[in-house]
A and B are shown apart, each in its own frame.
Chain A
Amino acid sequence: MKNIILTALLFSSTFVSAQQYLTREARLDFDAGSPLEDIEAFTESGSAVYDANTGKIGVQVLMTSFQFKRALMQEHFNENYVESEKYPKASFKGTYNEGSVAGGLTIHGITKEITVPARLDQEEGNYVLVTSFDITLADYEVKIPSAVANKISKTASIQVQATLKNTSR
């Protein structure tokens, strides 16, 4: 009897880990531009995890990995706006539930609860996460000096695209 319990437990432990999906190559885009200035950046080195058993989903990105078209803009982004030295990462930790994700989004050291629409489709044994949403920069205490206030959008649109692979493979 005990052997059966043990075997079942061992089996369930492998079963649990088999339901974890992960990528280190999530693509994130963001756009905080205005008619006066294009402010766009992307990264292809975000991390994303998903646990199919619990529905828990997480995305994390290094702020310095965002690539801008202009070197100076990238420097200002890190140096003056998101303060990457103090707050090197942005992350989302929450749960996926039928077409939306809900959880805490942390940017610039500030965590806000958000619920945004998201798609999480199973494709060839992988999970493909696609979501797009807007955030208000002031919510995360990203300060915009008045001199450039009309060049930078008050909101930033963020897109996430990730193909999460089973961790046991």
Chain B
Amino acid sequence: MSRLIKTIGVAAALIGASVVQAAAEFPEQQITMIVPFGAGGGSDRVARTIDRFWQEETGQSFNFQYQPGASGAVGTDAIARAEPDGYTVGIVNLPNMIVQPVSGSASFALDDFDYIGRVNSDPMVLMVPDGSPFNTLEEFIAAAKEMPNTLTIAITGTFGAGQLAALQMMDAADIEATLVPTQGGANTAARIAGGHVSAGIIGLGLFTNQETGRALAVSSAERSDFAPDVPTFDEQGVTMDMALARVIVAPDGLPEEALTYLRDTLQEVTESQGFIEASREQSLGAVWQDGDALEDAVMSGQEQAARLLRQYGLIE
């Protein structure tokens, strides 16, 4: 008799446990966010902003892990190689992530990832110092044509948004200028402001947050609210759309449930009033793009980037 009761008890417990198991939803533990740059940098701050509003939405916060090195390639690779159980995600820069596999300086490929979504997009501006003789994009291009490779353009880092934007601009306007890579966005801005280069390409956010210089053009499709006086490249006859975007990715092969949860929550966070305003304060546009559209954009972006880089002899 007692044995029977015992057996029923054990069976009940087992059934109960499995029911509880099934009812337990993703996420059951803290999710790790890998940041491929150093603590305190631009990517970190965006990630922290996401974390802040993610906490408001879900009550959960991320466990931050920094993996700096090789302009983000090391950390991005770490994301690709993590367990695809939904408990590891990472914040990545576009177009850096697109270009690194092509350049041979990274060991990941674009299809090693599941794309959660894009959280902001920062168009690039062509900035000149206060004392510059150029007042419009036209003047700049004219001067560049007259003296090929004499004008200098500062850009942030290599294989980043600045470099690709500069290449795109030179290609579209058919000019040649010398690109001068600089470490760190702030230093690029300083270099331009000090007049050590003829001009430079930096993110709109960085430009509007500091007080010097003028912007001759912006790469967004329409004029930006943050700088309504700056004409776009398109309206001045130069086709240019390169932007610096921050996206959240996870290793390829996530379970359906996790992927949906992450995508939905990230979308809510990105479209929330708080996040939009917080981004505004840093002059970043919070522009959501969902995972599938993002994946398409990334794949086609790689072709374009590779073509540009090859054209200018930057990769084989």
Do A and B truly interact?
no
